[in-house]
């Protein structure tokens, strides 16, 4: 639950089997303070959370081992940039949710590092296939000598990229803050025209089931319209309206409801065919 989330950041040393780490760094173990049933989402508090995240990411980027996790660090950097932009636009609830995603990325990095060292299992997952998928999410500049990389027998041609847009209560339009990440997906699709998009609209549980289904459909359609107006063929897009059936946060307060008002955009990037344009 958002109201009780304790976001745990990396607390272990970052030594890898293929990358030496000359010294250990001390990591703050909490991005957010311990809280009860309410969370402060005012601008000053969010600014403090962002500053804490910046500090944690900087420590990771200063490690020699960063060359083994550069792809995952890039994902973390994109979350931090998004949270900062949302904060600067006075979208504090959106920024808070993005920071939650950033913390999850930090935890993924921690697990990946343990796996690269040959230790399967961590507090987040002990499934080998999950760890490999996380590692491959940041496959642009990975450590060639890692145990995961050595298991690759061929160049991957398909990749999954996931982003989202958050919506205000009972609203279906796209907030301008989300245009930049959507535009990046558009550039990728135009470069690799065999790629496909899956756009799913979601709502919180306020209102009737039928109304929420229609609202989630409008949210997904508006996102799809953004892509088609930018030149993406409608045949490359699949739309689903999930309504309130797939909430990802138990709704104990208004902050947790915000987390369920979103549209997910999943890009199946097929790099087997590249556009000549």
List pLDDT tens digits, range 207-228: 999 999 999 999 999 999 999 9
Give the per-residue pLDDT at 10. 26
Provide CB contacts within 8 A for 235, sequence distance 6+.
none
CA distances from 153 to 147, 167, 172, 273 (A): 12, 42, 44, 20
CA distance 53 to 56: 5
Find which of 12-16, 39-43, 174-178 is predicted with most confidence, using mean pLDDT.
Answer: 174-178
Q: What is the pTM of this model?
A: 0.54
Report pLDDT for 213: 96
For residues 243-264, average pLDDT: 87
The pLDDT score that the predictor gives to residue 45 is 84
Where residue 68 falls among pLDDT bands split at 50, 70, 90? Answer: low
Residues 137-190 have pLDDT tens digits of 665 445 554 454 444 434 455 677 788 899 999 999 999 989 988 998 999 999
**Does 86 have pLDDT greater than 60?**
yes
Type and span of the H or E element at 161:
strand 158-166
Q: For residue 222, give every residue at least 6 positions away whose Cβ sits within 8 Å of its Cβ, in sequence order, or none.
A: 172, 173, 174, 263
For residue 274, pLDDT over 50 is answered with yes
CA proximity to 58, closest of 43, 80, 32: 80
Q: How confident is the model at residue 24 (pLDDT cuts 50, 70, 90)?
A: very low
**Proportion of the chain above pLDDT 70, given as a percent:** 66
Sequence ranges of the chain with CATH classification 3.30.1330.60: 158-270
d(CA 39, CA 30): 14
Q: For the domain bounded by 158-270, which CATH number is listed?
A: 3.30.1330.60
């Amino acid at each position: 639950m958002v109201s009780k989330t304790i976001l745990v950041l990396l607390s272990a040393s970052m030594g890898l089997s293929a990358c030496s780490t000359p010294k250990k760094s001390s990591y703050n173990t909490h991005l957010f303070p311990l809280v009860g049933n309410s969370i402060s989402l005012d601008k000053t508090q969010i600014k403090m959370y962002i500053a804490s995240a910046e500090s944690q990411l900087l420590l990771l980027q200063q490690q020699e081992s960063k060359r083994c996790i550069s792809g995952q660090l890039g994902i973390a950097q994109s979350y931090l940039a998004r949270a900062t932009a949302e904060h600067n636009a006075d979208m504090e609830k959106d920024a808070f949710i993005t920071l939650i995603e950033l913390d999850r990325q930090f935890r993924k990095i921690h697990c990946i590092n343990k796996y690269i060292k040959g230790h399967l299992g961590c507090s987040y997952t002990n499934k080998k296939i999950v760890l490999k998928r996380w590692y491959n999410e940041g496959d642009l500049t990975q450590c060639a000598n890692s145990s995961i990389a050595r298991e690759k027998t061929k160049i991957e041609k398909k990749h999954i990229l996931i982003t989202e847009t958050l919506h205000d209560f009972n609203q279906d339009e796209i907030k301008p803050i989300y245009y930049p990440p959507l535009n990046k997906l558009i550039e990728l699709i135009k470069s690799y025209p065999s790629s496909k998009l899956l756009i799913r609209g979601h709502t919180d549980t306020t209102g009737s089931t039928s109304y929420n289904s229609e609202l989630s459909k409008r949210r997904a359609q508006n996102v799809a319209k953004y892509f088609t107006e930018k030149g993406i063929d409608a045949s490359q897009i699949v739309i689903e309206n999930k309504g309130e059936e797939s909430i990802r946060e138990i709704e104990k307060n208004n902050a947790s409801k915000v987390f369920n008002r979103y549209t997910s955009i999943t890009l199946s990037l097929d790099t087997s065919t590249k556009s000549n344009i």
